[in-house]
Amino acid sequence: MLSVMVKPTRHMSVVIPGLFGPPGIKRLPEAWQDLSLPALEEILTRARRETSAGNGLEHSLFALFNTETRHDADVPVAAVTRQWEAQDADGYWWLRADPVHMRADRDSIVMLGNEALDISHEECREIALELNRHFGGEYWFLDAANARRWYLRLGEDPHITTAALSEVLGRNILPAMPQGPAAGRWRSMMNEVQMVLHSSAVNQSREARGALAVNSLWFWGGGRLPGPAATNWSHVWSNDALSQGLASLMDIPRSSLPPEAAEWLDDDTPGEHLLVMDGMRDKVQLGSVEGWREFMQAWHDAWLAPLLVALKGRRLATLRLYPADGTVFELGTRDARRWWVRRRSLSQWL
């Protein structure tokens, strides 16, 4: 009896911002030398490299979900994540107003973000009450939803464009301040927010015990809730709030990110799967070379190497890597089995 070769029916797209390391990595050979990443080198060498829509995680995700956006406006991250968390975003204009710590450094103000703040639920509530008492009104309401994501509900378009928090981590914030017709008003408001936070009882208590102060809010990702769009994704795997929110908006099945590829490979759901790996991005933005190296090696061993084996073994039809930089590397089963193509070292791709 003749055996019939079964055509694989699963495709994996992996969004992984920060794949090629911190800026200037070429000048830091200690960052990539001695890393053992043969599967990544093989994929990059044999894959077709093409352009993709979107630059940066947020813009890339909106493009991958076919969500229409304007080139002269923010992608509406706040409305999408708010709807995912609270189901009350429709009908308002939303801005993320994330709590952050910023540090003055000579002629600049450096954004350290909020990962190290460890803000309690009670502290979130108290700071929001203080700011709402100071600014609050019919068209201004701040909700401190959790330690990482705060939301500002507005009645109308604030007429500004903003920079995503991820884009300014570890950098001078001054070039990334709000732009647009109302930019001056919003910059003044940010200064006023900082003055309120400076005198906040919560921050005084935090500083007394040696914790970092919540010394500013970062406004970004403004817009109204977009409508659902047609996509090809059969399942989304992610711990990222935006990709979970977009999947929810499009009514696409979604799950948290498994710790390794073996768990995903055990799931035999056919179709197009989207996996979002966002843990490397913060390390790159904050210039943590060692953090990038550790993440890269762990991700390679737990995910990339098994996916390449699955591709060669025809358990997977296509593997795509999106570094969220306007490119995509696509590898099919036939490409993956081209053993005669000589593998290029990672240093040639950085």
Q: Which tens digits make up the pLDDT trace of 32-70?
A: 778 889 999 999 999 999 999 888 999 999 999 999 888
10: left (phi over 0), alpha (psi -120 to 50) or beta: beta
d(C-alpha 134, C-alpha 149), whole Å: 20
Domain boundaries, the chain: 10-68+230-348, 77-223
Rounded Cα–Cα distance for residues 325 and 322 (Å): 8
CB 225 within 8 A of CB 76: yes
In angstroms, rounded to a whole number, what is the distance separating the alpha carbons of residues 28 and 23?
10
CATH homologous superfamily of 10-68+230-348:
Alkaline Phosphatase, subunit A (3.40.720.10)
Using the structure block, give the residue that is written with the tokens 């923010």: 74
Q: How confident is the model at residue 136 (pLDDT cuts 50, 70, 90)?
A: confident
Q: How far apart are the first and last CA of the chain?
A: 50
Tokens representing 236 are: 């989304």
> Assign residue 113 a region: left if phi > 0, alpha if psi is -120 to 50, beta otherwise?
left
174-229 tens-digit pLDDT: 999 999 999 999 999 999 999 999 999 999 999 999 999 999 999 999 999 999 88
35 exposure class (CB count in 10 Å sphere: 0-12, 13-18, 19+): middle
Evaluated on CA atoms 185, 190, 195, 201, the torsion sign reads positive
Phi and psi based region of residue 303 (left: phi greater than 0; alpha: psi -120 to 50; beta: remaining): alpha
Comparing CA positions, the residue from 128, 101, 103 lying closest to residue 115 is 101
Q: What is the phi/psi pair of residue 274, to 5°?
A: -115, 125
Beta partners for residue 276, in sequence order: 15, 238
Q: Provide the 10 A C-beta neighbour count for residue 225.
A: 19
The pTM score is: 0.92
3-state secondary structure of 85: helix
Amino acid at 159: H
Tens-place pLDDT, residues 100-134: 999 988 889 999 999 889 999 999 999 999 999 99
Task: Output the six-digit token pair for 132.
Answer: 């709402």
To which H or E segment does residue 237 belong? Answer: strand 233-238
